[in-house]
Amino acid sequence: MATIVFYEKPGCANNARQKSLLLEAGHELIVRNLLETRWTADELRAFFGERPVSEWFNRAAPWVKSGEIVPEALDERTALVLMLEDPLLIRRPLLQVGDRREAGFDAERIHGWIGLAPAAAEVSNLEQCRRTEHCPTPAREDTA
């Protein structure tokens, strides 16, 4: 089984479910706070691999939900700058095993990579926040 560095948003129900599935599969977790980690653009970029910029974003982030930030309209540099300014924009969890890094929790992809317990196949979307209607959208300050 793998030792996984798991970057989460503390208190996120989906991250809790994701960690549970990984633990049930026998993996060891080193849990870190995604929001308090001091990222560099290069470190953060390594988690996204060949995915398009639009897939780097947390779709439940207030700025994305409000339409103020449109991931499909951003280039790589701008996306990273925005994510470094506001880590809530980062798709989570971020996972690292050895030198390999991934963003998000696609159960099929993770199972092919490190293995998941059979129950993971029966779990619905593990990335979509079920409480987004309860999450207020704070006012965004211009940083330009």
CA atoms within 13 A on the CB side of 90: 29
3-class DSSP state of 83:
helix
Asked, for residue 140, whether it belongs to a domain, the answer is no
CA 24, CA 35: separation in Å to the nearest integer? Answer: 25
Contact 53, 77 (CB under 8 A): no
Question: Does residue 12 carry a catalytic annotation?
Answer: yes
- CATH number for position 46: 3.40.30.10
The count of other CB atoms within 10 Å of the CB of residue 125 is 11
- Averaged pLDDT, 19-47: 97
DSSP H helical ranges for the chain? 13-24, 41-45, 62-65, 76-85, 107-113
Residue-number span of the structural domain to which 68 is assigned: 3-128
CA gyration radius for the chain? 15
Q: What is the pLDDT of residue 118?
A: 74
Asked, for residue 144, whether it belongs to a domain, the answer is no
- Averaged pLDDT, 113-123: 76
Q: What is the pLDDT of residue 137?
A: 41
Residue pLDDT, tens place only, 48-71: 999 999 999 999 999 999 999 999
Asked, for residue 20, whether it belongs to a domain, the answer is yes
* Counted domains in the chain: 1
CA 59, CA 106: separation in Å to the nearest integer? Answer: 15
Tokens of 13: 């129900």
Asked, for residue 123, whether it belongs to a domain, the answer is yes
- Averaged pLDDT, 67-85: 98
Residue 124 has pLDDT above 90, yes or no: no
Asked, for residue 14, whether it belongs to a domain, the answer is yes
CA 98, CA 105: separation in Å to the nearest integer? Answer: 17
Asked, for residue 46, whether it belongs to a domain, the answer is yes
- List 12, 61, 95, 103, catalytic entry: 12
Q: Which residue has the higher pLDDT, 140 or 2?
A: 2
Asked, for residue 76, whether it belongs to a domain, the answer is yes
Asked, for residue 119, whether it belongs to a domain, the answer is yes
Q: What is the pLDDT of residue 119?
A: 66
